[in-house]
């Protein structure tokens, strides 16, 4: 099925092809994630053809969707004056349909299908893996926060819905290791029992990315005991230290203390990490970039000295955001892989804290990007120009298929807004256990089962079942 004539300009830089994006539970797929039909391992990333120097790239380049759900794609055209693209599904009607704006509807049958965006003789591709998610039973009444932390675990950190099957949830903790649930958090298994397991059990695992292309690959930041960046290729059983003592990052970064890890939505091998402190030889601090899944790294300087809570959000192959959580540092943008920086919000506003990143930055159902900040939720039509759509301080943030969810780290302030009306926010009760000076720095949403997860440090892990349309009762 073809949708002709739609166009989205590429913004401030080329978007890299090849790779993948987490789309399940995070917001780009209406209906959340989806299991790969027949199991699967590696999903093909985006591709296409470049003719006469014209490049077309689709964001995200890999998506997991359940049958009949909707996906929002964006296309960037580089090297041409005409930014218009024609959308199509290569598999015909059996592979779903797509309109002129890049809104794709998955077929009712499972399988892997290809979406194309064409400009002249050049085209880009994206893969859609359609599969039915595993079932989750015993979900509580809608609108009720339920404590679901693993038994004996009181301090939880990063939480992420799996891109292949949203019934699977990954959980970092402080000094209890790494956990996996196969039933939306009802039961848990301590999985890091292999290489570096004891090391990870000793630290705080506060930032992670689950690879949406290579199933079972997970990047995990260890802090306060398990310093560095760890990578697993077997579903969290064994983790290898990425920044070993002979790497440049380990040599210059204070205590090899990684602050956060962020993955590009168009290339699962492109990641950037920031340092939690100073770096030898840098007047500010440093960050490290890889384009080969962590085999090699290039270091560059951050725009300002490190501040508590600061981190990164990748936009494309050359561009990403840097934000701190100390008032007035603002949000900064690079379009040349960290060589130069500029502020994207006036008067130091934004402070788009990225320390607790758990997913790639992907467009919501209105084709815009959203991130949380100390000054409120920020919105961008292209990833390069930003404005505030709320004024409540936000650290924990998630994007569903129809709804935005936001919560503060230092107060039980929980809000939601329809993506169709992002200026209007509704206040709802946070988990009742939270004192007046505590909140939740992590949120993630599973749109397939309508479950919002909140990880609240010493106040543990919670889930809330929303209405089927994603709204909070």
pLDDT surpassing 80 at residue 424? yes
pLDDT at 45: 58
What digits encode the pLDDT tens for the residues 370-388? 999 989 999 999 999 999 9
Give buried/exposed letters for 300-332 (b at 16+ CB in 10 A, else e).
Answer: bbbbbebbebbbbbbbbbbbbbbbbbeeebbbb
When pLDDT is cut at 50, 70 and 90, the band that residue 15 belongs to is very low
pLDDT at 442: 96
pLDDT at 33: 36
pLDDT at 1: 47
Q: Are strands 258-264 and 267-275 parallel, antiparallel or unpaired?
A: antiparallel
pLDDT at 250: 97
Query: Mean pLDDT across the stretch 320-340?
Result: 87
pLDDT at 3: 52
When pLDDT is cut at 50, 70 and 90, the band that residue 17 belongs to is very low
Summary mean pLDDT of the chain: 89
When pLDDT is cut at 50, 70 and 90, the band that residue 35 belongs to is very low
pLDDT at 326: 66
- Run of H or E including 199: helix 197-201
pTM of the shown model? 0.89
pLDDT surpassing 80 at residue 29? no
pLDDT at 347: 75
Write the DSSP assignment of 102-153 as a string of letters: SEEE--SS-EEEEEEEEETTEEEEEEEEE-PPPP------TT-EEE-PPTT-
pLDDT surpassing 50 at residue 16? no
Query: Mean pLDDT across the stretch 233-249?
Result: 98
What digits encode the pLDDT tens for the residues 290-301? 999 999 999 999
**Dist. CA 406–CA 398, nearest whole Å:** 7
Query: Mean pLDDT across the stretch 31-60?
Result: 66
76 - beta bridge partners?
57
Q: Tokens representing 281?
A: 């030889």
What are the φ/ψ torsions at residue 199 (nearest 5 degrees)?
A: -65, -45
pLDDT surpassing 90 at residue 399? yes
When pLDDT is cut at 50, 70 and 90, the band that residue 306 belongs to is confident
pLDDT at 327: 64
Write the DSSP assignment of 9-62 as a string of letters: --TTSPPP-S-----TTTSSEET---PPTT--SBPP--EEE-BTTBEEEEESSE
**Dist. CA 467–CA 129, nearest whole Å:** 25
Query: Mean pLDDT across the stretch 386-396?
Result: 93
What digits encode the pLDDT tens for the residues 170-203? 999 999 999 999 999 999 999 999 999 999 999 9
What are the φ/ψ torsions at residue 197 (nearest 5 degrees)?
A: -60, -45
Query: Mean pLDDT across the stretch 212-231?
Result: 95
Query: Mean pLDDT across the stretch 228-249?
Result: 98
């Amino acid at each position: 099925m073809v949708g002709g004539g739609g166009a989205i300009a590429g913004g401030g830089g080329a978007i890299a092809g090849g790779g993948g994006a987490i789309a399940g539970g995070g917001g780009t797929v209406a209906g959340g994630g989806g299991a790969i039909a027949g199991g699967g391992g590696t999903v093909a990333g985006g591709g296409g053809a470049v003719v006469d120097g014209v490049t077309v790239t689709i964001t995200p380049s890999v998506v997991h969707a359940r049958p009949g759900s909707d996906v929002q794609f964006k296309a960037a055209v580089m090297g041409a004056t005409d930014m218009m693209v024609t959308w199509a599904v290569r598999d015909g009607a059996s592979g779903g349909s797509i309109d002129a704006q890049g809104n794709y509807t998955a077929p009712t049958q499972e399988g892997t299908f290809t979406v194309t965006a064409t400009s002249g003789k050049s085209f880009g591709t994206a893969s859609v893996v359609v599969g039915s998610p595993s079932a989750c039973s015993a979900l509580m009444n809608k609108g009720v926060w339920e404590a679901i932390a693993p038994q004996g675990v009181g301090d939880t950190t990063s939480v992420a819905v799996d891109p292949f099957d949203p019934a699977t949830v990954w959980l970092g903790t402080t000094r209890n290791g790494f956990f996996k649930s196969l039933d939306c958090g009802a039961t848990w298994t301590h999985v890091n029992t292999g290489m570096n397991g004891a090391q990870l059990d000793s630290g705080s695992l506060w930032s992670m990315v689950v690879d949406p292309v290579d199933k079972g690959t997970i990047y995990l930041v260890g802090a306060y005991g398990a310093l560095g960046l760890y990578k697993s290729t077997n579903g969290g059983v064994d983790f290898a230290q990425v920044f070993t003592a002979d790497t440049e990052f380990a040599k210059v970064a204070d205590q090899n203390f990684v602050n956060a890890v962020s993955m590009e939505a168009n290339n699962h091998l492109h990641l950037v990490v920031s340092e939690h402190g100073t770096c030898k030889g840098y007047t500010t601090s440093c960050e490290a970039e890889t384009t080969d899944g962590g085999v090699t790294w290039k270091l560059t300087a951050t725009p300002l000295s490190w501040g508590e809570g600061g981190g990164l959000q990748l936009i494309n192959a050359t561009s990403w955001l840097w934000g701190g959580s100390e008032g007035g540092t603002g949000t900064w943008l690079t379009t040349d892989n960290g060589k130069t920086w500029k502020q994207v919000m006036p008067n130091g506003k934004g402070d788009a804290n990225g320390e607790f990143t758990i997913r790639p930055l992907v467009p919501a159902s209105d084709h815009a990007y959203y991130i949380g900040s100390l000054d409120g939720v920020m919105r961008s039509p292209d990833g390069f120009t930003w404005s505030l759509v709320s004024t409540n301080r936000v650290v924990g943030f998630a994007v569903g298929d129809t709804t935005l969810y936001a919560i503060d780290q230092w107060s039980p302030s929980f809000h939601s807004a329809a993506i169709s009306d992002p200026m209007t926010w509704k206040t709802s009760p946070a988990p009742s256990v939270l004192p007046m000076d505590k909140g939740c720095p992590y949120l993630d949403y599973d749109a397939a089962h309508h479950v919002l997860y909140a990880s609240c440090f010493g106040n543990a892990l919670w889930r809330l079942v929303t209405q089927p349309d994603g709204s909070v009762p």
